[in-house]
Structure 1
């Protein structure tokens, strides 16, 4: 599943290509989205911005304005005629691509779920499983967004509020609590294992047993690492990570992560073989060093 840094970079790329441009082409395989397009076409609107919220990608369109509607359908049409936001979530398989108009696509059109075209670019949502239109004025009340915890990459990230939510998590383990987007948004499976290693925490510790200082360390490291992986090369003049997520800061691609995906390999700190376990509601994978992240003596 794409993590917060991946969605942030995707949103930034789409915003750079599409913001301020008039939509000349809009296609979708989703009936609910097609219905909005039929009632108040997306073509002719302007893409105002593309942003990320946790693992959600939000594409905002202007209203169409001045549209006349049949009296018996007017109230519904007036709502969809206003500014709209297309919310998508990638889950495990989805991705957004951006192409110059006329450029061949890298994936089959069969898997294209949404196509947004302008004079110069075409944005394609391939295999995106979750998509809906939300009225811009009501976006903050949309259930999928309203229940999100503080976004690690948000400019106004509230670390204390995130700690408060995590500290009372009902998830069985700290590893599962970090993946709960209602507690804190943007952390995914890779960062979860990496952050727990850096905090020297056993991944299966109950959230109630995690000291506040450890929660703070986890979240401050999360913000630092995610921000490092979304640095805009136009701002720095240097492409640091070249699209490959890194947590170690090392230039060698083979040494870019501490524990994730390294089952049986030596810990970069102490040499102990890295361990691996599937667990939790969604059977997610967790990697850890049993020496650097020791279990309590009574733990299994």
Structure 2
């Protein structure tokens, strides 16, 4: 590092002074600084010279923003922000103050991060939650599923306009028709509106409950989250290998709490009648019709049924 004496000596050098003068002249002739002087005529040359570093930062940030390489590669000192200059009169003298303002890309990322924080997923492929959604593309992908898509769109509009209902949707259809995608789209749209959501892939969740039995804290946290979120989706219900504890104590507890409070949504390959038969059978106790019916009493009355027709989209581009 140079000593103070060396630095002072360098400043006496004619070439250094010429270089400094060239930088000053370039700054003073820059359109941004000219605009600043037009807005604030009280800014004379001496005041500008006292704030050369602020002016340099201001112009440099603007140049970087005009050639923006994207938020991740932002070259500004404070990523996603740019310098703004404010001029205020203090004791009759014009003073220049610098502040950092967020750019539009940073604000968009902040908004997207807030939306993502409102959505929690258990064992669901994150691609279904993170890919872009376009209503025209969703409608046009397969005309057979248009009626079901319209019902989901209608539910989203109603919720945005009138607030959260206690009724959810039961979306059923054959493999690969886009049930999970549609429910993820609904979560995303309503998260933008400020609602919280949880989506649970049932086969993996029920399997994982075996290990959660040994971790009461984590089990309680998970079930409380499912009970209290605004929107809860049980994805691919009917594909899990049920046991009595998962069905009666976990699912039963969650649904018992939510009914008449908050909406629960389902995707399935089963009709409601087929789901009741599935819920009536467990690997441990075999068929127990009354247990399945008890759970269905917490599902059927609180959903609108949506039959999703369409072609299997898996593997298609």
Same fold flag (TM > 0.5): no
TM range (shorter): under 0.3
Structure scoring higher RCO (CA < 8 A, sep ≥ 6) equals 2
Q: Please, what TM-score do these two structures have when normalized by structure 1?
A: 0.26
Question: Which has the greater radius of gyration?
Answer: 2
Superposition TM-score, scaled by structure 2 size:
0.25
